[in-house]
Structure 1
Amino acid sequence: MSEFVHDSVMLESAVDWLVTEASGIYIDGTFGRGGHSRSILSRLDAEGQLIGFDKDPAAVAVGRALMVEDTRFHMVWDSFVELRKGLDEIGAPGCHGILLDLGVSSPQLDDAERGFSFMHDGPLDMRMNPEAGVSAADWVNFTDETEIARVLWEYGEEKFSRRMARAIVQRRAEQPFTRTGDLAEVIKVANPRWEKYKHPATRAFQAIRIHINNELADLEKVLNAALEVLQPGGRLVVISFHSLEDRIVKRFMRDKSQGPKIPRGMPVLEKDIKRHLKVLVKGDKADQGEVRDNVRARSAVLRVAERLAGAV
């Protein structure tokens, strides 16, 4: 068992909204260390089933141990984009609910060897699955300056992205980056205006991590995949931690609850508008007690939508 622990954010409220049928089939798309999954299992009866997804092999190891402990649970080592794959593995046509707890987990940040954090010096990696894809070190050492600047701006909303990209390219010409502390220092020096209470490399590290793990593109894919596997009345529960994620979730739920845009003046009956979702929660925040106990909860936003019947 890993020494690094993860406190699941908004655990009770998320599971309260998710589980509507004790004998239902549910998906925890971001297993982590199983906090939400164990809570979901506690709400299910002997017929209920839960599928967990994670790309992180350390999380998968915890999930496989839970499979031995509880036969109602099935662990899938893959991206949550592959919702259908998990359902096929247990022979289920669809599910009653999907939970997505987005972003990086506390164990990934706390373990310096994973290379996610500028606060703990370690190998510059940042991959959710260290056995697949391009590491952050390879990316910053071989990507051209314009693309680095684009990623820092687009995924980190970093206003000094060009200065930082230029500093990275100039430094790597002398010595390639291999450590998180080294990259954080170069970015810090290139940042002329530090935000109060925020490390000057925060936005840049967030951007690189999102890009390396294809997080926003995968989020858009899994939201669409959820519509295909959720049964009528099934719920999609999403916890996001920064504005880029939340914007995608908010827009998706809004659009799928309103139905397709109808040209102005075209006569359409209300009953003929095909809506896929009904929004139940539009953006709840963690209560003060949870924020006090877990600082990560401060930026959490909970959104919930229910699958409607009859939409195609």
Structure 2
Amino acid sequence: MSSLPDLSPGTDADALLARARLTFDIEAAAVLGLKDRVGPSFVEAVRRILNVRGRVVVMGMGKSGHVGRKIAATLASTGSPAMFVHPAEASHGDLGMIKTVDLVLAISNSGESDELAAILPVVKRQGVPLIAITGGLDSMLARHADVVLDSGVEKEACPLNLAPTASTTAQMALGDALAVALLDARGFGAEDFARSHPGGALGRKLLTHVSDLMRSGDHVPRVSPGATLSELMREMSSKGLGATAVVDADGRAIGIFTDGDLRRLVETGADLRELTAGDVMHKGPRTMRADALGVEAAELMEQYRITSILVTDAAGLLIGAISINDLMRAKVI
């Protein structure tokens, strides 16, 4: 069995924990310090992004670039079309990605990035609006920007005050604040979020309908009220739902019989040979419409402690069935 290496001088456990806690304090202070500095410029930034006809083009070098990629992804997933363009690549052809209908969101702690300096004059000549997130309020980036968001921090969490730590945390928080403010201003709701996250859990819950998952046609077990119990059991067994619908002559669902009902019936000692589906069915079964959400079916199953639900149309005709296993396979639950 492997063991942890001995701590060498300078890596005392208490010192390591103290450094971690100090890092949290410094970065928390950096984020909280932004609260008093958001004002008219933040509102103007939100207004400009709301009005942009194209995309928000996020740019940044080094660690600011990594933050920029995350901000672009967050904006895009919350209703503000966005992409990240690397400033160094922009000066070698990628600048063609930026159109006059776009808006540039440039991120730099110092505001003096050479790569940004090389392309910002071109961006401005194209008439593309520029929003800056920077701690350098008198910097090259700030001078070019139409709107400046102050992300300055008193110090980095790095003990050398060199590695971008608190400053990148502040940039990330400002980007999140922009995304959330824009989300709210657009009236972007859970269903909108689901449409941009169809593969996620929320997407599956809000976009998957009963019609997407239900069994239909010959895959739906059904018998008439006059069917013998033997016929009923064969239908249940062949269709593998663990239940069968009982339908009238017009195809309306008038009852249901499940595996659990069969076990309970056997325990009573009744003469099963004399019974029909109409004798043993549960009348007035729980049903759903095909356009209901899969998650609604799951909630109904949980509420009534059942494992399958019949699906009917507006006239009450049986058109399908859905089980808890169907919902689990689709990862709705």
Q: Give yes or no for TM over 0.5.
A: no
Larger RCO (CA within 8 A; separation ≥ 6): 1
TM-score normalised to the size of structure 1? 0.27
Instruction: Give me the TM-score of the superposition, normalised by structure 2.
Output: 0.26
